Structures are given as structure tokens and as C-alpha cells.
Chain A
Amino acid sequence: MIEVRNVVKTYDSVRAVDKLSFAAKPGEIFGLIGPNGAGKSTTIRMIMNIIAPDSGQVLLDGRPLCEADKNRIGYLPEERGLYKKMKVGDLLTFLAEVKGGDRQASAQRIDRWLERFDIADWKERKVDELSKGMAQKVQFIGTVAHDPDVLLFDEPFSGLDPMSQDMLLEAFLELKRAGKTILFSTHIMDHAEKICERILIINKSREVLSGSLAEVKQRYGSPTVRIEFDGDAAFVSGLPFVKACRQFPRALEVELADYEDTDKLYCALAGRVKVRRFEQLEPSLHSIFIRLVGAAQEDLNA
């Protein structure tokens, strides 16, 4: 488990990270979400001890991180870089070696991942011949080749085409199933929504909200149900627990006062119209993010 406690980092006069605390557990994908410049990369660099925090602690399994722990962590920095003149295979072997990975096991893992990302043919080619997307895949393999327990990815999806993004999402889920602790930062809500158990939204160096994705959605979403039906449903808008109602050609989106009212609505519909589809709509993380971060921005502007 990786735990961040009250870390603070100030550059000159700018506070980059202000009293941030969170924990990512094994077998869990934790998303650090925020707009550009919020302090995500600084936080991840402090976990990696590339930058020392001014105050606060970073703990791995309950004790402060030491030099030897670097071997247990895989890190994909936001600033991607690979030694351009090296062959892909040699580079990956080297990256696993400086992380103290077992040579043979690393070699097997490297081959497996290259295969999986469809770049096995490039193993003997030089890095500077790779396309940007391929280089990013190679960088990902370099991060996992030594089989670390903890994985930190800083904006792992940026610069990838949709197909490669899906490949990476799959890979994340596989690593999670293998019991790895995964922490990644992104400003693309869609990715966080797809794979994260828990999230922390950070804006202007401070935590805006954190918790499990389900909790967050419940806390910040309003209960909305989408109904597709045959018949006349005009009566719905008159029901006492319905706050608002939006009519679409063949569907109805009903905003309720409370989550508890979902059942009441279903009962009210039963027998009066033929329900083909009854779906509890969740607010997207995107909309929550825009609401919270946007509001904060307006507060500042006001």
C-alpha cells in the first residue's frame, strides 16, 4: 500500500501541492484527477522521491520510502524519454536491470508485453525509429518489466490512439487482477471512470474531493432515471417525488428528489405504460469534475 500524508511542496513562492493525503491499496486502481498544472505530477514525483516534499510523508506499507524501495515501484513519468540510440530489446533489459529485476523473468515478461502490444517485430530496432505511440508502449513495458508491486503512471494515455488506449486500459485491469497497487494521473475523466475504484480530484494544488467512485457519484450526482416505454407517460411529471422531467421522442429522463424514490417511480409506472427500459443514470465523472473545478475557478474569478 502506498500512502501519502499531508505532503506540501512549494516552488519559490508558488505552492505546487498543499497538504495532500491519500492511499492506494493493492489490487486497486487509484486515479489522481485534475486539470493541467493542478499538482498531479509534482505529487507523483514526490512519491518517487525525485522531488523531496517540504513537509509530510510518503509511506510504503506503513514505513517511509527508502532507496531499495525503488525496485518495488514502476514509474512512467509524464515527461517521456528513452535512450534513442539503443535497441528496443536492449533498452527494456537495461530498464529492468537498473530496477533490480531478475534477468530471465524480466526477459520473458518483456517478450510477452511486446507480443501483446503488437510490437515484437521492433525488438531489434532502434528506439528512434519508433513512432510516438510505439515509444509510449515501449515506455509502459519498461515500467512493468521488473514486475513491481506498485505502479505509478503519470498521464499514461496521452498521445495514444483510441485502440492503444483500450490496450492500455486492459493492461491496467490485468495488473490490478494480479494484485498490484496502481496509481495514475489523468485529466481525461473517461479513463478514470472506466477503471478507477477510487479517485482524488485535485485543483490548484489542493484536494477537491476524494473517495470511491460510487460514493463520489452518489454524493455529487442527482438521482436520474431514463425510461423507454410504449404508452402515455404524461402523468409522470405530476408525481410528487419528481423534481424535473425531460421528454425525448421515445424516452423520458426523470430527475428524482431522492435515490429512494427510484422504486416508487417504478411502481408508479407499472401497469400504466409498457416499460422497455428502466435505467438509473449516473452523473458522469466529467460533469462532476466540471461542476467542482469549474465552480472553484469561478469563485476565484469572482
Chain B
Amino acid sequence: MRKLLAIVKREFRAATGNKTFVIMTILGPFLILAITILPGLISSDPAMMTSGKPLALVVSNPLVEAALQQSFSQQGMTLASLSDEAVGKDGVVAGDYAGLLVVPPTWPEQGASYYSSSGTEVVIFGSAEAVLSAIATRQRIGQAGIPADQIERLLAAPGFQVIQLGANLSEEEKGDDDFMGLMFTSLGFVMLIYMTVLLYGQMIGRSVVLEKTVKTVEIMLSSVSAKQLMLGKIIGLGLASLLQYSVWMGMAGLAIRLLGPALGIALPAAVSMVNMGWLVLFFILAFFLYSAGYAALGAAAEDEQHLGQLAWPLLIFLMIPMVMISAIVMNPNSPVAVGLSFFPMTSPIVMLVRLLVSEPAWWEIGLCLGLLVLAIYGLSIAAAKIFRTGILMSGKRHSFREILRWVRLH
């Protein structure tokens, strides 16, 4: 026990006592924020998309122009009214304008056109299209002889509510904001697990490879068992990651308490104590699972490069839930989501998302946790075997088939 403790202490100090750790701990939350929120901002905020360039308009109908002006200025964009279509096209090509919207005098009989250098700014031309079709609809209904006051009544959207029904029939109204809150919270939590598991998994893999490359492994194995060495590394780095987590959560809590009221930012409702509990639980489980995997690969790898090559199966399993997250948030009880929330390599992330957005049955949570613990146990044993066999081998690269043979050995 004392030996294990000594290794845990050493690994913890090796992991935390360097500049990278301090920088990551401080910058981590900003990085996660940037990764999760920035792409959303870029794709949904036209002002950011056009990087401040005006949108050129060639419109003869003053009513249409006024409506477009109003709509786009609300979105923080500037418009430039032109009379010549050719000038506008030149401006787009030269990069002076973000795009060119042409509404011909014969509109709406003849359609409008949008020109841009990429043609992918769906937010911009989407909102132009919406404004134009609203005007055209009103114009056509008016031309059919219906009085103006009736047109508004005809076009008014009926009410529509989304209500989350709890197990005890409790009802909770969900708005767009709730969905976005859930989406961002899920994304944030998933990113947190993904990044830390990846970061620390690789750290463990590297730390094991390092024992081989700096040749400390023989001294260590002459002092402790391979199991103690591996466990010491996993626990030591696990504690380092938990320290990082608590700093991050403390920072987030402090920021929201101090700056929240001033900026009018509140925590999304999904960030509750219960959900934070789930986050930490699934993080720890994911951490142990992937640590055992990376430790085994580290023992089998010849050097860091080789470790990178061997690590692809783990990376793929980590990527699957990342790629599927929005599908899972939108349909948390689909067979695929449920299946992935049982499969141990993906379950920590997928089950966490399901817990955030829906209410999986207790047996589902139990099955997920049970399988996860079993998988951790099995993988640790396999890892210890690979570790014991592979850690002394050097100078030769081993294939996966050979490594699997080591697992069956003994």
C-alpha cells in the first residue's frame, strides 16, 4: 500500500507540477467554451458570418427595401442600396460586399436572386427569403380582395407548446431556450469528458511508454509489481484530473456568481447538482476505462509515435458519441442511443446525455453502470497482462494480433 501511495504521489506531482498543467487548468474552460459555443455563434450570427461587410441590395420596390432593411438591421447587418446589378456583382467578387440580393421590378412574378462568393450563407439568404415570401403572401392575399385587417388574422400562427411529461405525470413546459440550454449543457459536459479522458488517457499512455524510453521500468519492476505501477499511474493521474475538474467547476461557479447577475447570464436549468453528480460519476468511470486501455497500449507501444498509431480504436469509440450527440439529444430513446448507452466504450458519454435530456429507467442506468464496471475490470486485467508482457519488450513493433495473444497468454 505504501508503495502504491508513493507511485500515486509521484505521478500526481509529475502531472501537476508543470506549466502545461497550470495553463490547461486555467485555459481549459475557455477552450471548451470556444469549441462548444463559437461554431454556433459563427453559423447563426449573420454579423459574424459577414465579418462586418455590408450586404448589397438592388431593389426597386421601396416597400420591400424597407422590410429588408428592418429585418437585417435587427440582425446587426448593414445594407448598401445599389441601382446597378453589375456594380453589385463586381463588389461581391472584389470582396467589398458579403453578398448581393437582387429583387427585380417584376417581383414577385419573377423571382429574386442572391449572389455570394460561397453561396452557403444560409442564415442570410434564408432570412431574406422569409421576409420576401411574407411580403409576397400578404400582397397576393390583398390582391384577392381580402381587407388588410383580416390578412393579419389569417396569417397569425396558432399556439404550440412542448411539454416534458415526468414519470409522476409532472408537466414542464419546454421552450426553444430550454432545448438550446440542454443542447449546450450536453455539449459542454460531453466535451469536458471527451477532452479530459483523451488528455489524461494519452498522458497515461505516454507515461507508460516513457518508463520504457527513459528506461526506468526495470528499476520500478524490481521494486513494485506491474499491477502496482499501472494502478499507481492511473490513480495518480486520475487525482490530477479531478483537481483540474474542481478548479474548473470552482471557476465556473465563481464566474456565474460574480459576473452572472451583471451580464444577465444564468446557469442553464440543466446544470443542476444532480446532473453535476452524474457528470463526475461518468467521468470517473470513463476515465478508468480509457486509462486501462491507454496503459495497455502504452505498454505495447515502442515509442510515442507508435502509441499514436495503436490508439486509433480507442479514438474511434470516443468519437462515436461526439458525432452522434445532436441525434441523441433530439432522440434520446431511439434504439441506437439506448444501445450506445449500454456499450461500455460509449456508454459514459451517451448515458450522461440521455440522463440530461430524458429520464432513462432505473434498470437502464443500472445495466449501463454494471456493464461499465465489468468492462473496466476486464480491460484492467487485459491491460495488466499486456503491461507485464509488453513493458520490457522494446526495439520491435507489435501488431494488434500479437498484443491480443499476450492477453490470452498466462
Interface residues of A (CB under 8 A from B): 45, 48, 50-51, 67, 70-71, 73, 75, 77, 79-86, 94-95, 97-100, 142
Contacts and interface: CB of A to CB of B under 8 A. Distances in A.
A71 B215 CA distance: 20
Contacts of B309: none
B214 A97 contact: no
A98 B218 contact: no
Interface string B364-389: 00000000000000000000000000
Contact of B6 (A70, A86, A94): A94
Contacts of A86: 10, 14
A79 B217 CA distance: 9
B220 interface: yes
The prevalent SS among residues of A at the interface is loop
B57 interface: no
A70 B214 CA distance: 22
A266 B363 CA distance: 100
Contacts of B219: 75, 77, 81, 95, 142
Contact of B222 (A75, A83, A84): A75
A37 B18 CA distance: 40
Contacts of B217: 81
A13 to B, nearest CB: 15
A98 B221 contact: no
A97 B222 contact: no
Interface in B216-272: 216-225
A100 to B, nearest CB: 7
Given A45-B218, A79-B215, A82-B216, A98 B14 contact: no
Contacts of B225: 67
B215 A50 contact: no
B401 interface: no
Contacts of A142: 219
Contacts of A99: 223
25 contacts: A50-B218, A50-B222, A70-B223, A70-B224, A73-B222, A75-B222, A77-B222, A79-B215, A81-B215, A81-B216, A81-B218, A81-B219, A82-B216, A83-B10, A83-B14, A83-B214, A83-B216, A85-B18, A86-B10, A86-B14, A94-B10, A97-B3, A98-B6, A98-B220, A100-B2
Most buried by A among B2, B18, B214, B222: B222
A115 B3 CA distance: 27
Contacts of B223: 70-71, 95, 98-99
Given A98-B7, A100-B3, A75 B224 contact: no
B311 interface: no
A81 B392 contact: no
B185 to A, nearest CB: 38
Contacts, number: 60
Contacts of A85: 14, 17-18
B251 to A, nearest CB: 27
Contacts of A84: 214
Contacts of B3: 97-98, 100
A80 B215 CA distance: 6
Interface residues of B, number: 21
Contacts of B6: 94, 97-98
Query: 6 smallest A-B Cβ distances: which pairs?
Result: A81-B215, A77-B218, A75-B222, A97-B6, A98-B223, A81-B216
A97 B216 CA distance: 15
Q: Which of A71, A81, A84, A95 has the most C-beta atoms of chain B within 10 angstroms of its own C-beta?
A: A81
Contacts of B7: 98
A79 B220 contact: no
Interface centre among A75, A79, A86, A99 (most CB of B within 10 A): A79
A97 B228 CA distance: 14
A83 B9 CA distance: 14
Contacts of A95: 219, 223
B23 to A, nearest CB: 16
A86 B12 CA distance: 12
Nearest to A84: B214
Contacts of B10: 83, 86, 94
Contacts of B18: 85
Contacts of B222: 48, 50, 70, 73, 75, 77
B225 to A, nearest CB: 6
Given A48-B218, A83-B14, 14 more contacts: A48-B221, A50-B222, A50-B392, A51-B392, A80-B215, A81-B215, A81-B219, A82-B216, A83-B214, A83-B216, A85-B14, A85-B17, A86-B14, A97-B2
Interface string B344-371: 0000000000000000000000000000
B1 to A, nearest CB: 11
Contacts of B17: 85
A97 B1 CA distance: 11
Given A98-B220, A98-B224, A81 B2 contact: no
A94 B232 CA distance: 13
A225 B306 CA distance: 62
